[in-house]
Amino acid sequence: MRKVTTFLSFMAMLLMSIAPLSAQQNLWHRVDVVSPEVNADGSVTLRYFAPTAQCVEVTGDFLPERTITTADGSFTAPGVAPLTRLDNGVWEYRSEPLRSELYNYSFRVDDLSGLHDPASSYFMRDINSQMNYFIIPGERGNLYMAQDVAHGTVARVWCDAGDRPRRMSVYTPAGYESGKGRYPVLYLLHGMGGDEEAWLATGRMAEIMDNLIAEGKAEPMIVVMTNGCTKHVAAPGYSHEGMWVPYGSGSMDGSFETLFPDVVKWVDKHYRTIARKSSRAICGLSMGGFHSMQISKEYPALFDYVGLFSAAIFRGDNNIALYDNLEQKLAAQFAAAPKLYWIAIGASDFLYEDNVRFRALLDSKGYPYTYVESEGGHVWRNWRCYLAEFVPQLFKR
């Protein structure tokens, strides 16, 4: 039978037929513009097609931070850099060589900000923002990139602990499915407004775990990522409660902590876990650090490893019984001698002073903990680093 078209003409027809959401010029612009382009010298080139724009800028965490002052105080924000217009209507920016890292960016065209890069399918959602990203190879960037190593499995499962089924993400290490062994478990919690997708998308946890395990730096372990917003059963798009907006949703009312022992029981029942305190860890960022602190002190028999990443230590709702008697409960927890109590925060994090106060409390009682202070603020760059630093210490004591 004769082939009526060549592959190339098939592609041309396909390109036209799958123009579902773009004017034609936009369709072709996707084909023409390469962005991001990571260069051999460790710089990145970003491009944006905007033929009649007056000004195109990029903002991202690879640029020096700015300080912005408002009536509510000062805060830092990522820097901004201009793109240069080329003759064909494409604007271009080339950075200096960058330190190896995963970086985020978005564009600003005239007065429209937060624009995604239409040439790239490399993006991640954090809460209600979609951000493009690129990775500069090297020591740190390589940790966040998929490598040619054995990969774990990532599953979205529905856990029916508590009042109703909730969606969660579970990482099982390479070899779990084909073997029969039992594994320790890390419970890895997200921040305010995040969900069970956060550590996978923006946290790059599967790549970090695969790489650390392949290098022999971390024990093979199961990692469970719950959804800590008990108002919702799942991340946007996966809940039967309609199109809820994640921004600002969170649970610091004791409800998440209360159901946690049932989550642990469910995991121990459904996975081949080593179901004992010395093979269980809990850590989280921001609200998830708060949750980790609360859960580990509320149930001192559950976790021997605790990690607080930029933890929102004193930020729970008022008049929640579970949050009362903190000192007394910490006393019980530390009497049971956890093997590792690990606290990390950036020097410019807005929760820094809370953590100073919390450490002062621990110091006053003589409770042992490890403290890591990094540069920077309340940002994923730090949380990825903290995870990569915390995980190699687990289940070895």
Which residues, numbered 155-184, are part of the site for a second copy (CB under 8 A)? 155-158, 165, 167, 174, 177-178
139 binds a second copy (CB under 8 A): no
59 binds a second copy (CB under 8 A): yes
H/E segment holding residue 15: helix 7-17
Binding mask 264-293 for a second copy (x = CB under 8 A): ------x---------------x-------
HSE-up (13 A, CA, CB side) for residue 217? 13
Q: Could you tell me the smallest distance in angstroms from the CB atom of residue 77 to a second copy?
A: 6
126 binds a second copy (CB under 8 A): yes
User: 277: closest CA among 328, 336, 323, 228?
Assistant: 336
Q: Which stretch binds a second copy (CB under 8 A): 31-39, 334-342, 365-373, 385-393?
A: 31-39
Give 315 or 359: the residue with its C-beta nearer to a second copy: 315
192 binds a second copy (CB under 8 A): yes
Phi, psi of 220 (to 5 degrees): -60, 130
Q: Could you tell me the smallest distance in angstroms from the CB atom of residue 96 to a second copy?
A: 19
Q: Is the dihedral of CA 241, 247, 253, 255 positive or negative?
A: positive
**What gap in Å lies between CA 344 and CA 313, rounded to an integer?**
12
360 binds a second copy (CB under 8 A): no
362 binds a second copy (CB under 8 A): no
Among 315, 362, 389, 393, binds a second copy (CB under 8 A): 315
Give 120 or 230: the residue with its C-beta nearer to a second copy: 120
Note the Cα 148 to chain centre separation in Å: 22
Among 41, 55, 77, 368, binds a second copy (CB under 8 A): 77
Burial 343-368 (b: 16+ CB within 10 A, else e): bbbbeebebbebbeebbeebeeeebe
H/E segment holding residue 269: helix 255-270
CB-CB contact of 203 with 383 (8 Å): yes
81 binds a second copy (CB under 8 A): no
Give 248 or 368: the residue with its C-beta nearer to a second copy: 248
Strands (E), 43-86: 44-49, 56-60, 66-70, 73-77, 79-82, 84-85
A 10 A CB-CB count for 256 gives 25
Task: Enter the tokens of residue 83.
Answer: 């793109």
Among 55, 86, 150, 347, binds a second copy (CB under 8 A): 150
**What gap in Å lies between CA 89 and CA 117, rounded to an integer?**
15
Among 95, 101, 120, 295, binds a second copy (CB under 8 A): 120
Give 376 or 392: the residue with its C-beta nearer to a second copy: 376
252 binds a second copy (CB under 8 A): yes
Number of residues that this document lists for the chain: 397
Strands 129-136 and 112-115 turn out to be unpaired
Which residue type, as a one-letter code, is found at position 56? V
Q: Which stretch binds a second copy (CB under 8 A): 149-157, 256-264, 362-370, 387-395?
A: 149-157
87 binds a second copy (CB under 8 A): no
Among 295, 312, 343, 345, binds a second copy (CB under 8 A): 312
Among 218, 264, 379, 387, binds a second copy (CB under 8 A): 379
119 binds a second copy (CB under 8 A): yes
Among 41, 82, 96, 113, binds a second copy (CB under 8 A): 113
Among 83, 135, 340, 385, binds a second copy (CB under 8 A): 135
**What gap in Å lies between CA 174 and CA 219, rounded to an integer?**
11
Q: Could you tell me the smallest distance in angstroms from the CB atom of residue 358 to a second copy?
A: 9
Scan residues 197-226 and list those touching a second copy (CB under 8 A): none
